[in-house]
Structure 1
Amino acid sequence: MKITRVETFAVPPRWLLCRIETDDGVVGWGEPVVEGRASTVRTAVHELAELLIGKDPLGIEDHWQLMTKASFYRGGPVLSSAVAGLDQALWDIAGKIFGAPVHVLLGGPVREWVRAYCWVGGDEPAGVADAVGAQVAAGFTAVKMNASGRMHRLATVRDIDAMVGRAAAAREALGPDRDFAVDFHGRFSAGNARTAIPHLAPLRPMFVEEPVLPEYTHRLADIVRDSPLPIATGERLYSRTDVLPALQAGIDVLQPDLSHAGGISEVRRIASLAEAFDVPIAPHCPLGPVSLASSLQIAFCTPNFLIQEQSIGIHYNDGAEVLDYVAEPEVFAFHQGHFARPTAPGLGISIDEKAVREADGSTPDWRGPVWRHLDGSFAEW
């Protein structure tokens, strides 16, 4: 069996899918994308595809080694995301060839259900209580919300009070038996994070996410040491070597992204590294169906798994939803806020190829918003 073709599809709302075809007709799907840079990653996918055409798709590890190392300049979000999508598609093919889900190929299931959370409140959070109430009514046991919109370089009393007020509204709507997480989204300086986190402590969020930007990972140890709450990070870390300093800093939850951190092959290794630090993983996934399916394959075979992010209903999904590209959407059905273990071979989903081809290129590339402070200077989104 040989790989004969690699295709890519840019589809609404902001996703890039890839399709690997073999001469025996077995097809695998992946989701290689950097949000806001889909066209850039698309080019990288086709460059890397030169290493795959004519090769046996089952040589997944050798393909991963070549895609990540057969170039003098390596790593970074664009290349790692391109590798991630291709790696997902290769695992999808392998599972279909052997007639087993990917998590079975990786050692078998360690659980039958995967807890998931959903987003509430948007980029500049508002209406949190009503949004949380709707998700509780839908059966979810956990939600996540942004801590704030744009943030002053040193937070004002009003900034902190507003953040705490939203968190308090979420806690009241959830009660003591459900969870919420607070995402700082890299919008806080280290000083702001150290000031703000203790004010959240009485509300007991599940974790505080990305309290500082990834380039300031060297400040994480300070934040962890001073924090009364669990600290999470990882969505903008793309390899074992990237996550190691964060683990050494003492973080409590690691959040690798299956479409950014080298795919199933690398996230499996990242999870094992985290286990050595007694740190659970909560895979980051505000993306589409293949990224979610890949995340779930990891979740079902990873002992130190905590909870799964998913994007159904997220505020970024304008014009399309995860289920729009899936031929059998029941695989993503929620049962009291949990996903059931998929049993179909490969990634466990059937992509609606007709819908994907019709959607390709139907919308301009998505771009993240550009925020500015009141003085006109750049503000972190």
Structure 2
Amino acid sequence: MFAKPIINDFSFNSEIVGILDYDELRFEVFRERFPKHHHVQSYQEHQFEKMIQETNPDVIIVAGRDDTHAKYIISALEHNLDVISEKPMATRGSDCRAIIEAEKKSKGKVTVTFNYRYTPVHTKIKELILDGKIGRVTSIDLNWYLDTHHGSSYFKRWNRNRDLSGGLSIHKSTHHFDLVNWWIDQVPEEVFAYGALNYYGSEGELNPSKKDHRHCGTCLETEDCEYYSRWNNRLKRAKVEDEHLVMLEGKQGNFPYSEYRPDQCIFDSEINIEDTYTATVKYKEGALLSYSVNFSLPYEGYRLAINGTKGRIETLEYHAPKRAPFPTPVQTIDYYPLFGSKEIIHVVHREGGHGGGDPLLLEDLFLGERQNKPYQRLSGARDGAYSVAVGEAVWKSAHKNRPITIEEVLSKEKASVRHE
């Protein structure tokens, strides 16, 4: 996402001066993939201060595992450095509060890479709302679907552990909550939600047998596993493209990582997160969001409706049309004025990851955001915090069976960061 574009597109104004990770094998893979970055100095996870002193950077890009984000963001801000962080900005609301407080004391600023804002359809929806097409936003219905290929991937990796990812209402749904927050420009106030683990974990109905510590690459029960059989033929030659799962040839079989494999069994008993959520979010300015997400469905995409005092916007997207077992139409936006005829809006689609959003996001990150837009697309620490806070409120509400306020999640008294 960053190393390749810096070489190919932004080398005239940017260069990587240091890389830091706990896994030294990743450094080898990095240099093999990007020979032009071979000279870049590498540092172990405890050598952040040394890296700063020796490389004198302008910006820190935080793209490690979710639970590591907060400590590196805050450390960078303490050095008055700008930060580009992958979403989610942190895995807990209290860490988000600590980041905001650190940013207030720093000359640096935080940018969170919410690339969904840059998808052309999403940008057009923002413009329709700003133009007053639907008036004051009153309610939003957003139903997100992940298919059995993409959805199951989160349960094969570290995301399955809430301590590492915050759960999928944070790791994944922050994308969705940020989109809604950005579209309607309102502040989330309170959440009530339900959640469940319906498909994965040891009690999953399609679990071939209740055994832990299996891996897809070596499992003897793959022919009895409908999740595996759906996407792999018996000779294991089927390759299903997924931009979220790039398997590289490495020195540890097919996985270039030490002591970690991203093909863990989706039916392990250690899985402690949910795969299904429904939630209602109340906004301070009056809007109500009805949200659901399911991580094991026949096709991938979302259905959206935004209602206002003057009309309604609808859109349906099939995110992975090549994997859908039926023909899928090109995404359009349907606009229904409160009094008048329906309009179908065709949006120019772009090439690139996340619906063409990734290239546009990279341009804003490395060239600066264009000033001729009536709205801002780059996300800051406040945006990152609200998206995480809603996500944390979702799973906490589901566990505690009561409404959770955003103020409760972002409480100053709870603000703390795990330092190793």
TM-score range, shorter chain: under 0.3
Query: Structure 1 length normalisation: TM-score?
Result: 0.28
Structure that is richer in helix per residue: 1
Larger radius of gyration: 2
More strand by share: 2
RCO greater where, 1 or 2, for CA within 8 Å and sep 6 or more? 2
- Using structure 2 for the length normalisation, give the TM-score: 0.26
